[in-house]
Every structure is written in structure tokens, then in C-alpha cells.
Amino acid sequence: MTNRQHIKLMLILALAVCSAGGLLLHAGLHPMTASRTSLVPALSGFVSLCIVTALFYTPRGAAWAYLLNGMTVIVGTITMVHYSLADLPSPLTPKALLLQSTFPSIVLLWTKYFIGTAIFDLERTAGAPDARRTGRFFRFPNHGFWLVHLFALSAVYAAGHFLWRR
Amino acid sequence: MKHFMLFKPGWWWLHIIAVLFFFWLGSVIHF
């Protein structure tokens, strides 16, 4: 095993441990199959823990794993923000908003995004590890792509929530 | 013009899946 392969394996393990942590944290908060809503973290956790890690392990699957990993982070961020907005702390102070909401969990969730980026970049730059970074900020696979998709998909989610209640 | 293109032509189907999925997710989740 080369040093690069070892780094990649450790990052994949970090991603798996993060996903398992999130899955267990949710299992402790509510039964995973209690409702449709409880199924979302269960399915996202399963996808992160099994599918994303397996895809990252194969060089050809890295781009799909990166896309799926980012999307699970976006799903988690949007649904947890929604959960906090639906049940705002009272009295509403900046401290309560920061500490008694899902904000700490969202911050933890974003470690998954950065670990995924590190694995994908490790794979993508394998041929030229010392080359300068190029590409447009708002285009895949750069950070701006995720920023745009976070806001755009939040808008789509909100539209679904308010216009198509089921 | 190329720089202002929002979607690369080959990926339109993935955008449709993503929009439908997030729209559906928003419609089924209630807290």
C-alpha cells in the first residue's frame, strides 16, 4: 500500500465513522422507521455509510461518490434547518439559536462534505499532485457549485413544502 | 455565452431528478 492509498483509506474511514455517528445520533433521537420523516436520516445515513464509501473506494466511482456525498449533506442541511425553523427556541436569542437549534449538528454534518472533497481531490489530482488548482468557482467540482446547489435546492424544497403539501 | 450557461447540456436529466426529488422531499416532510 502506498502512502497515497493509505491517506485515501483513512479519509474513507473518517467519512464512514462520521456517517455512522450521524446515523446513531438520529437512532437515539427517534425510532428510524417511526414516520416518513424519520426515514430520511436513516436512508441518507445508509447511502453515506455504504454506497458513498464503496463508490469512493473505486477510482471510477469517485465523481459519483462526491456528488452523492454533497447531496446527502445538502439534504441533511435543508431538513435540519427546516426542523429548527418549525420549532424555534423560546425566547429567541442569538445564543439559543446557535446552541439550542440543529446548528451544531449541521456544522458537524459539513465535516462530511470537506472529507468527501479531500478524497475526490486526492483521486482527481493523482496524476499531477503539485499542479496549481484551476477551474471556475461556480462549476463542478468546486465549492461554488455546492453553494449554488444548496440555495437552489432549498428553494425547490420550500416550493414543494408550501405548494404541494401531502 | 458559454460562461453564462447554467447547465451543461449532458446533465439536464440529473437536474430533473434533483428538482423532482427535492420538491417531493419538501412536500412529504412535516415537523
Each residue's pLDDT tens digit, A26-58: 999 888 877 888 889 999 999 999 999 999 999
- Residues B23, A79: C-beta atoms closer than 8 Å: no
DSSP assignment string, chain B: -GGG-SS-GGGHHHHHHHHHHHHHHHHH---
Mutation target among B4, B5, B22 for the A interface, most CBs of A within 10 A: B22
pLDDT at B1: 41
Tell me the three cell numbers of residue A156: 425547490
Confidence of residue B8 (pLDDT cuts 50, 70, 90): low
What mean pLDDT is reported for chain A? 93
- Output B16 or A90, whichever has higher pLDDT: B16
pLDDT at A149 over 60: yes
pLDDT at A122: 93
Q: Dihedral of CA A103/A105/A111/A116: which sign?
A: negative
- Residues A159, B24: C-beta atoms closer than 8 Å: no
pLDDT at A165 over 60: yes
* A47-51, A55-59, A66-70, A73-77: least confidently modelled range: A55-59
Q: Which of A106, A37, A27, A101 is nearest to A73 (CA)?
A: A106
**Closest residue of chain A to B20, computed from CA coordinates:** A156
pLDDT at A35: 83
Distance, in angstroms, between B27 CA and closest chain A CA? Answer: 4
Q: Are A18 and A112 in contact (CB under 8 A)?
A: yes
Q: pTM of the prediction?
A: 0.92
- Residues B28, A36: C-beta atoms closer than 8 Å: yes
pLDDT at A136 over 50: yes
Q: Which chain B residues contact residue A165 at CB under 8 A?
A: 27, 30
Q: Could you tell me the CA-to-CA distances from A122 to A36, A101, A157 in Å, in that order? A: 37, 34, 32
| pLDDT, tens only, A122-132 | 998 888 888 89
pLDDT at B5: 54
Provide mean pLDDT across the span B1-21.
Answer: 75
Q: Which chain A residues contact residue B31 at CB under 8 A?
A: 37, 82-83, 86-87
